[in-house]
């Protein structure tokens, strides 16, 4: 398949074994750097969860983390 990008065109060949070959050139048009705060968000979210993976910020008494109620006394 041919992929047309703002920075150029690539020919993408995908084999039956899902091996991917890219042919052509595309030049970079944009570069960004994520702040340390943004990169650490997943780690902070994981630390707010209990060891069992249940979010400590929700009321899990009914087994439904979708309730969105805060757990009292924790």
Kindly report, residue by residue over 30-56, the tens digit of the pLDDT: 899 999 998 888 888 888 876 455 555
Domain span at residue 36? Answer: 2-49
Examine residue 23 and state whether it is found in any structural domain, yes or no: yes
pLDDT digits (tens, 9 = 90+) for 8-35: 899 999 999 999 999 998 788 889 999 9
Is residue 41 included in any domain, yes or no? yes
Q: Are 32 and 51 in contact (CB under 8 A)?
A: no
Q: Which residues have C-beta within 8 Å of that of residue 52, sequence separation ≥ 6?
A: none
Residue 18 lies in a domain: yes
Rg value, the chain, Cα? 22
Q: Is residue 13 part of a domain?
A: yes
pLDDT for the residue numbered 66: 47
Residue 6 lies in a domain: yes
Number of domains in the chain: 1
Would residue 72 count as lying in a domain?
A: no
pLDDT at position 67 is: 45
Residue 39 lies in a domain: yes
DSSP string, 29-72: -------HHHHHHHHHHHHTB-TTS-BTTS--TTS-GGG-PPPT
């Amino acid at each position: 398949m041919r992929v047309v990008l703002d920075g150029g065109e690539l020919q993408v060949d995908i084999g039956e074994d899902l091996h991917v070959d890219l042919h052509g050139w595309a030049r970079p048009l944009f570069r960004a750097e994520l702040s340390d705060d943004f990169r650490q968000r997943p780690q902070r979210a994981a630390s707010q969860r209990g060891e069992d993976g249940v979010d400590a910020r929700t009321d899990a008494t009914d087994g439904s983390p979708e309730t969105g109620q805060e757990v009292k006394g924790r």
